[in-house]
Amino acid sequence: MAIVISFKMNQEYIAKMLCEKKEVKENTCNGHCHLKKELKKVSETENDSNLPTSYKEKIELVFIQPEFTFSFFEIKNNKPSFSFYKENEISTISHDIFHPPAC
C-alpha cells in the first residue's frame, strides 16, 4: 500500500527519471513499469520466510518536494503616529487624598 501511495505522490518524477520507457515518444507508461518492478520486489521479500516479521512490514515513503524559493520585502508602517498624547500630559500633581462620598 505504501509503495502505491509513494508512487502516486512522485509519479511525475518517476515517469521522467526512473521509467524504463522514458526515451520513447508518446509514452503512455507514466512510470507504471517502475511501480510493477517495486511491487514485484516487495512480493518476493514477503515470500521469503527467513526474514522476521518486523522486516516484512517495513514501510518506505518517499516524497520529493519541488524547489521552494522566497524573497524578502520591506514592510512599510503606514499608521499615523499619535504623538499628541504625549504632549498633553497633566503637569500638575495633586497631593490631596481622595475621599469617596459617605452614605
Measure the CA–CA gap between 8 and 51, rounded to whole angstroms.
28
Residue type, 58: K
User: Which of 20-29, 74-83, 94-103 shows the lowest per-residue confidence on average (mean pLDDT)?
Assistant: 74-83
Q: Which domain holds residue 8?
A: 2-87
The grid cell for 13 is 518524477
**Mean per-residue pLDDT, 16-41:** 82
Q: What is the mean pLDDT of residues 5-16?
A: 83
Position 66 in a domain: yes
Pick the range with the lowest mean pLDDT from 25-29, 51-55, 72-76: 51-55
Domain presence at residue 101: no
Whether 67 is in a domain gets the answer yes
pLDDT for the residue 52: 57
Could you give the 3-state DSSP secondary structure of residue 95? Answer: coil
Q: Is residue 9 part of a domain?
A: yes
Residue 98 lies in a domain: no
Residue 33 in domain: yes
Place of cell 515518444: 25
